């Protein structure tokens, strides 16, 4: 082929491209799949106005297509070594995307030593895991697949399985405009789906943020519990306050005199961080037991007994555990049950039943 012919053949399609540019830019079309068009629909996260201002990563804009792909990957055991366990195997919607077991079991029958955390309102979490070791939702999503006690797969293997799958390649194309399936794209899609898991439809929200005038919205016991929670009597609000019911900071709440799990201390290497863990959000708390990083408490009764009477002093116990010198906040049986009643107003029944969050298969 001579030089002019090359120019001609290159020039012909180029002319089309240029003439196209004159009007609306057309989405790229893949020559091997001319019937598929990359034209994702932007998705606006619907967050309550009273939630903290949201910082979204600039390199992972949410789209309908990305969320759909993420939802499928979240529920599909294909990402695990023997194709039996998905994210949802440990993060179950009925328990606000947490695990009802003290320790979750991975595909090899192995268990970790941390309780599976609920995945909700995750768009507002920047340091993930109990000890904050993962920075960002995308970074976290890469972890479980290769974790030997969880899904125990390699990403290259998982990618191969996705590439051979009849549907995933086109779903990746719709979401990211490329046939080159990467683990980064998989993590981005999962993160997009996780960010949609917003829980804010509770009696607590109606009463205290939406100012619903219905006088019967909360019982007298629940209102009493609210006073305990939001005054120094119970003093829960200093860590579990605000609309997210967490400060998203790290504290030692006095579980142990000598914490076996170093928590944040392991991550920062500081002895002054020993035994500190991320304050869990108390949203849906009635659904997310067992409680604490090691799932040591089966019920909310046990949790409240602990805060009332069994705090353990250590050098790193948080100053906000104001009454550690007397064992805790010392509640009466009635006060304890009022506080627990209030904790139940954080339950979002719609969240655990929403179709858009459920298994798509």
Question: Which residues lie near ligand HEC (CB under 6 A)?
Answer: 85, 87, 89-91, 104, 106, 112, 114, 116-117, 119, 122, 125, 128-130, 140-141, 144-145, 150-151, 190, 234-236, 238-240, 251, 253, 255, 277, 279-280, 282, 285, 288, 291-293, 303-304, 307, 318, 320-321, 329, 339
Binding mask 151-190 for another protein (x = CB under 8 A): ----------------------------------------
Distance CA 328, CA 310 (A): 6
What are the angstrom distances between the C-alpha of 250 and each of 98, 167, 332? 20, 42, 28
Residues 166 and 156: beta-carbon distance below 8 Å: no
231 binds another protein (CB under 8 A): yes
Q: Does 99 contact another protein by CB under 8 A?
A: no
Alpha-carbon distance of 226 to 233, in angstroms, equals 10
CA distance 182 to 180: 6
Among 325, 332, 333, 355, binds another protein (CB under 8 A): 325
Is 323 one of the binding residues for another protein (CB under 8 A)? yes
CA distances from 133 to 140, 183, 291 (A): 9, 20, 20
CB of 103 to ligand HEC, least distance (A): 7
Contact pattern from residue 197 through residue 226 relative to another protein, giving x for each residue in contact according to CB under 8 A and a dash for the rest: -----------------------------x
Which tokens is 271 given?
């002895």
Does residue 247 interact with another protein by CB under 8 A?
yes
- Using the minimum distance from each CB to another protein, give the nearer residue, 1 or 49: 49
Taking CB within 5 to 8 Å according to partner kind, which of ligand HEC, another protein, none is near residue 293? ligand HEC
Helix, strand, coil share (%) of the chain residues, nearest 5: 40, 5, 50
User: Are 190 and 87 spatial neighbours (Cβ–Cβ below 8 Å)?
Assistant: yes
- Rounded to 5 degrees, φ, ψ at 34 are -60, -15
Binding site for another protein (CB under 8 A): 49-53, 124, 226-227, 230-232, 235, 237, 241-244, 247-249, 272, 313, 315-325
């Amino acid at each position: 082929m001579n030089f002019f012919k090359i120019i001609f053949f290159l020039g012909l399609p180029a002319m089309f491209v240029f003439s196209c540019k004159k009007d609306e830019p057309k989405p790229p079309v893949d020559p091997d799949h001319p019937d598929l068009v990359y034209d994702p629909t932007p998705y606006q996260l619907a967050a309550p106005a009273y939630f903290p201002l949201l910082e979204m990563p600039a390199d992972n804009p949410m789209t309908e297509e990305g969320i759909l792909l993420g939802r499928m990957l979240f529920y599909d055991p294909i990402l695990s070594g023997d194709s039996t366990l998905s994210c949802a195997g440990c993060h179950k919607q009925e328990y606000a995307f947490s695990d009802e077991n003290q320790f979750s079991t991975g595909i090899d029958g192995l268990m970790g030593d941390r309780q599976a955390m609920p995945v909700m309102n995750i768009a507002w979490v920047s340091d993930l895991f109990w000890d904050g070791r993962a920075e960002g939702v995308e970074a976290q999503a890469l972890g479980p697949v290769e974790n030997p006690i969880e899904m125990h797969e390699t990403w290259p293997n998982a990618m191969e399985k996705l590439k051979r799958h009849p549907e995933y390649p086109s779903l990746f194309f719709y979401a990211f405009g490329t046939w080159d399936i990467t683990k980064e794209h998989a993590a981005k899609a999962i993160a997009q789906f996780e960010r949609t898991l917003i829980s804010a439809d509770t009696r607590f929200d109606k009463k205290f943020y939406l100012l619903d005038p219905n006088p019967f919205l909360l019982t007298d016991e629940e209102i009493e519990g609210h006073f305990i929670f939001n005054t120094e009597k119970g003093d829960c609000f200093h860590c579990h306050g605000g609309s997210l019911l967490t400060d998203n900071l790290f504290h030692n709440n006095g579980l142990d005199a000598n914490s076996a799990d170093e928590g944040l201390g392991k991550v920062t290497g500081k002895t002054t961080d020993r035994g500190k863990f991320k304050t869990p959000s108390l949203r849906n708390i009635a659904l997310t037991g067992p409680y604490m990083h090691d799932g040591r408490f089966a019920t909310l009764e046990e949790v409240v007994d602990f805060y009332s009477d069994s705090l353990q002093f250590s050098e790193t116990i948080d100053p906000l555990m104001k009454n550690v010198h007397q064992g805790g906040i010392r509640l009466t049986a009635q006060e304890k049950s009022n506080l627990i009643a209030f904790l139940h107003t954080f339950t979002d029944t719609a969240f655990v039943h929403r179709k858009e969050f459920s298994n798509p298969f």
